[in-house]
Amino acid sequence: MPTYKEFAALARARFQKSQERKKKAIGEFRYTEHSRYKMRQYGLSEQKVRGVIRSPRRTEKGIVPQTIAVMQPVSPKKTGDKETWRQEIWVMYQEKKKTGPLERGQKKIISAWRYPGVSPERDPIPAEILQEIESWSDSETGV
């Protein structure tokens, strides 16, 4: 059985190793402490967050300057032509193109959260304008 000093030294070494792992950028993604806290709060894994970024259903400009917010629905159900879901996973990140602490092309995950229900789209194109654009393209092709 280890003594208290040996136990404390091992615990300190494990803690130091976990801190280094958090600081080190894993591939193209880097997580802030806030994002790690929110991932724990909402039960999101790094793999799920990466999946949302790689194949989002919707992309919007983030509320923080120079950020991107992406969304993916949780368990979408298709009834007829309409697809519905009860909650969404959102991730806000910043893409780095400059050199510095982050390498070129790395993404810094700022926050991640679950949204209950279906979030409203910000500044969507009104239906009347979409119909007008479609009528222009139909008149040009002669259909």
Q: Give the span between the Cα atoms of 40 and 45, in whole angstroms.
A: 8
Residue 76 domain flag:
yes
Residue 87 domain flag:
yes
What is the reported pTM?
0.66
Residue 31 domain flag:
yes
Residue 11 domain flag:
no
Residue 100 domain flag:
yes
- Model pLDDT, residue 143: 52
Residue 115 domain flag:
yes
Q: Can you give the residue range of the structural domain that contains 112? A: 26-141
Residue 7 domain flag:
no
110 contact partners, CB below 8 Å, separation of at least 6? 32, 34, 35, 62, 64, 67, 92, 93, 94
- Model pLDDT, residue 135: 76
pLDDT tens for each residue of 66-122: 899 999 999 889 888 888 889 999 999 998 766 555 556 788 999 999 998 888 877
pLDDT tens for each residue of 49-69: 999 999 999 999 888 888 999
- Model pLDDT, residue 55: 93
| Torsion sign across C-alpha atoms 8, 10, 11, 15 | positive
Total number of domains constituting the chain? 1
Residue 95 domain flag:
yes
